[in-house]
């Protein structure tokens, strides 16, 4: 069970909201089975995004179990306001990076800084409020579609909810349903596809509008056409205002236009740079790109390529 290390002496609705968001996180990160032990420092300050959201991992090592390190002395700087990508084989620790950033776990050694502040020194609320995630598998509540989107920002008006849904390319679909915005979803409601869930998650994120955005294989369940349109929309949203955004992806063609691409292998960043930089390195990224380009027509993902035993 997810354990809070901070006493919740907030008032009614704020408390419920916070508890709800922790429940969401719990589902989001599959935390049920772990005992979360992170602690806030005494009188923590709120995270201050004074430089626009630069994220630094400095010599970070981490493993879920002492005998199996996942991140090994990982160092990487995600510049403020840029669009970056993290690529690497399944299981190499990409989602772990996000879990550390959210402080669901603390690094065993090294440090993580946001705009120069060690994330251990800031309040957990301010840290988690600043980061928005579109996960691979979006948790839905047994409630209406409207509620599920508004969840990104509890006090949003129906109009705001609708606008966010439009930008996430899901509004038309919702409006065609017999019960429209009141359609029940979740375990006891209408079944919706993985792609629709991801669009709901994007709508939530648009509504929440956090300064740091994380897309964790967010478009992986979409067909190529829907993926392309959604990515175009996400890009236009990112252009509105400078926000640090991190895309974890398997399909390299969804991230090749990133400002920086970090290639992870064996718990470390082995290559980094722009797409042209990485191609001219003729290393791991270039190999992956070549392999995916060949199979583009078949819509192959890195995962499938791994299954098929291609050397990476």
The DSSP secondary-structure symbol of 180 reads G
**Position closest to Mg ion via CB:** 95
For position 198 contacting ligand ADP by CB under 6 A, the verdict is: no
Instruction: For Mg ion, give the closer residue by CB, 100 or 170.
Output: 100
For position 266 contacting ligand ADP by CB under 6 A, the verdict is: no
Stretch that binds ligand ADP, among 74-82, 86-94, 222-230, 276-284 (CB under 6 A): 86-94
For position 307 contacting ligand ADP by CB under 6 A, the verdict is: no
Sign, CA dihedral 140-141-145-146, equals negative
For position 92 contacting ligand ADP by CB under 6 A, the verdict is: yes
For position 91 contacting ligand ADP by CB under 6 A, the verdict is: yes
Closest approach of Cβ 29 to ligand ADP, in Å?
8
Instruction: For ligand ADP, give the closer residue by CB, 162 or 250.
Output: 250
Query: Residue 93 binds what, of Mg ion, ligand ADP, none (CB under 5 to 8 Å, by partner type)?
Result: ligand ADP
For position 220 contacting Mg ion by CB under 5 A, the verdict is: no
Nearest residue to 305 (alpha-carbon basis) of 86, 85, 89, 136? 89
Query: Residue 10 binds what, of Mg ion, ligand ADP, none (CB under 5 to 8 Å, by partner type)?
Result: none
Residues 54-73 that bind ligand ADP (CB under 6 A): 64, 70
For the CA atoms of the chain, what is the radius of gyration?
19
Stretch that binds ligand ADP, among 94-102, 117-125, 162-170, 235-243 (CB under 6 A): 94-102
For position 13 contacting ligand ADP by CB under 6 A, the verdict is: no
Instruction: For ligand ADP, give the closer residue by CB, 69 or 273.
Output: 69
Query: Residue 91 binds what, of ligand ADP, Mg ion, none (CB under 5 to 8 Å, by partner type)?
Result: ligand ADP
Number of H-type helices and E-type strands within the chain: 11, 12
User: Given phi > 0 = left and psi -120 to 50 = alpha, else beta, which region is 267?
Assistant: left
* CA distances to 112, 126, 288 from 27, in Å: 24, 20, 32
Residues that contact ligand ADP, how many (by CB under 6 A): 10
* CA distances to 25, 29, 155, 186, 187 from 192, in Å: 21, 21, 25, 8, 10
* CA distances to 100, 136, 182, 206 from 62, in Å: 9, 22, 43, 31
For position 95 contacting ligand ADP by CB under 6 A, the verdict is: yes
Strands in the chain per DSSP E? 55-62, 71-78, 83-87, 109-114, 117-118, 131-134, 143-144, 184-185, 212-216, 244-248, 260-265, 268-273
Closest approach of Cβ 149 to ligand ADP, in Å?
26
For position 93 contacting ligand ADP by CB under 6 A, the verdict is: yes
Which residues partner with 87 through β-bridges? 263
Closest approach of Cβ 217 to Mg ion, in Å?
6
Q: Residue 113: helix, strand or coil by DSSP?
A: strand
Closest approach of Cβ 259 to Mg ion, in Å?
22
Q: Are 203 and 166 in contact (CB under 8 A)?
A: no
Q: Are 310 and 304 in contact (CB under 8 A)?
A: no
Q: Which residues bind ligand ADP (CB under 6 A)?
A: 34, 64, 70, 90-96
Q: Which residues bind Mg ion (CB under 5 A)?
A: 94-95
């Amino acid at each position: 069970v997810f354990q809070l290390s901070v006493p919740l002496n907030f008032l009614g609705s704020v408390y419920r909201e916070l508890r709800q968001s922790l429940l969401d996180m719990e589902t989001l990160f599959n935390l049920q089975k772990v005992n979360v032990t992170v602690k806030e420092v005494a009188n923590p300050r709120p995270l201050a995004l004074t430089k626009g959201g630069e994220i630094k991992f400095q010599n970070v090592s981490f493993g879920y179990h002492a005998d199996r390190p996942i991140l090994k002395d990982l160092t990487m700087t995600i510049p403020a306001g840029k669009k970056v990508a993290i690529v690497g084989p399944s299981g190499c620790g990409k989602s772990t990076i996000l879990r550390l950033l959210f402080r669901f776990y603390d690094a065993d050694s090294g440090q993580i800084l946001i705009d120069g502040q060690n994330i251990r020194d800031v309040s957990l609320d301010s840290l988690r409020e600043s980061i928005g995630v579109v996960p691979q598998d979006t948790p839905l509540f047994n409630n209406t579609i409207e509620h599920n989107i508004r969840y990104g920002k509890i006090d949003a008006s129906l109009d705001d909810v609708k606008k966010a849904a439009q930008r996430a390319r899901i509004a038309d679909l919702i409006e065609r349903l017999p019960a429209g915005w009141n359609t029940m979803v979740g375990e006891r409601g209408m079944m919706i596809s993985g792609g629709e869930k991801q669009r709901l998650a994007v709508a939530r994120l648009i509504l929440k509008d956090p300064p740091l955005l994380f897309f964790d294989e967010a478009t992986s369940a979409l067909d190529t056409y829907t993926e392309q349109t959604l990515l175009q929309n996400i890009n236009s949203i990112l252009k509105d205002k400078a926000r640090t955004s991190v895309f974890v992806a398997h399909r390299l063609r969804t991230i090749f236009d990133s400002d920086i691409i970090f290639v992870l292998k064996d718990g470390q960043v082995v290559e980094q740079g722009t797409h042209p930089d990485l191609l001219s390195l003729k290393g791991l990224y270039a190999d992956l790109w070549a392999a995916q380009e060949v199979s583009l027509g078949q819509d192959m993902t890195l995962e499938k390529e791994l299954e098929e035993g291609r050397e990476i």
